[in-house]
Structure 1
């Protein structure tokens, strides 16, 4: 047996202290409340961002209409309208990026709280029958937590989301900007309208594909420790 320089025997490694179930429950509850507070703060922040964006967009489009009437839709009006629409598109894209990030953060909080509920059930298995929110930290568990009663299709969840709302508004703004630029360049109005509609569709589809890939990437990264029993 090796000895320390002073000749004394090495001390055995310290054992980890045993934690009572009550202390474990308190630690889990503290973490649960922290996640709830963070989720609430994040949701409030993104809703404020969306409201600010819509207020800015509606005010800017109203100013475009007023300037158009005042200038009799002259060349100066076209320059003004293109500038305002460009700013609207930029602000909308920045807001959309934040909304997409928050939607994934919200999913992260749901997964984390589901995992904590699994720890509660481990402490007291009898709690499981009283939980409507899931205690499984996989994709099926997250869907149950988002909608306790089940039976809701993924389409309705996506169609009613803030992300879909932002994608639709930004696609419309981008189509308006594209149509205005093409019209200012001398393109006939029917052709400008068709190309603007194509810009709308291209942006909408691209954003949906990008969002779907980021959502699927969450489940590639997440490794459930309490998956749903099938």
Structure 2
């Protein structure tokens, strides 16, 4: 991959034409400043996902505790009105916690894309300072959508559908959809609905949550106009023209 592009100045991005090369500047402390910023971004990314995983763990632990309490209640009192009231209350609380956790996961995924893009820009600066380093870099030095996805996949081609399906956001969607379906079925049963009504209500509630979750995710990770400073090279080696770039899907 020819990251320097063609020698023709017209093939370079506007940002590259507007500012002098870092190599020409040759500031003695420049590599230290860049590496400090890089470590700061890495630390922020690590703390962000540590917090997210902790919240997911807490959410799953609480849901498990609710199930244990309901099982003990059913053994003690049966499946009468007290059990139904408690089950509806627990399911509502679990769904609310799940929605709040899902919001944080989507926010963290959006932040993660921005952090990856920022680190790609720093790698571009490293290559400007020492072009001979480029063959040894696995992650991308470009800050557009293609470059960001290359960093996530560590230089390999990755199927976007599989990337999204295996994400933390999709895992949480499945858990919350199950809780939403259970809540819908419990409410229908408490209202005196028959078996068909209860099953239908549960399925509709689960699918409704899943559709809403996917719609929000599509809005968060859909096409957005971003500040692309170092676009990936096109087929001819010159930077590709960029329409409003599409951000990678949830990454966790």
Shorter-chain TM-score: which interval?
0.7 to 0.9
Instruction: Give yes or no for the alignment of 1:226 onto 2:230.
Output: yes
TM-score by length of 2: 0.80
State the shift of 1:189 in Å. 1.6
- Are 2:68 and 1:66 equivalent residues in the alignment? no
| Total equivalences in the alignment | 211
Which of the residues 171, 182, 185 maps onto 2:188? 182
2:217 maps to what in 1? Answer: 211
Which residue of the other structure, out of 18, 39, 45, is the alignment partner of 1:39? Answer: 45
Give ranges in structure 2 of 5+ residues lacking alignment. 1-23, 235-252
Q: What RMSD over aligned residues (CA atoms) do the two structures have, in Å?
A: 1.4
> Any residues of structure 2 matched to 1:54-203 within 5 Å, and which?
54-203=60-209
Q: Could you tell me whether the CA contact under 8 Å between 1:21 and 1:123 is conserved in 2?
A: no
In structure 2, C-alpha distance between the alignment counterparts of 1:77 and 1:199, rounded to whole Å: 21
Query: Where do 4+ consecutive residues of structure 1 move more than 4 Å?
Result: none
In structure 1, C-alpha distance between the alignment counterparts of 2:59 and 2:147, rounded to whole Å = 33
TM-score by length of 1: 0.88
Please give the per-residue CA displacement for 1:64-94, whole angstroms capped at 9, x wherever unaligned: 1210121111111111111111111111111
Structure with the bigger RCO (C-alpha within 8 Å, sep 6+) is 2
Structure 1: gaps spanning 5 or more residues: 1-17
Match of 1:15 in 2: none
- Return the alpha-carbon distance in structure 2 between the equivalents of residues 162 and 97 of structure 1: 12
Moved more, 62-71 or 26-35: 62-71
Higher helix share: 1
Distance 1:108 1:57 in 2: 32
SS at match of 1:136: coil
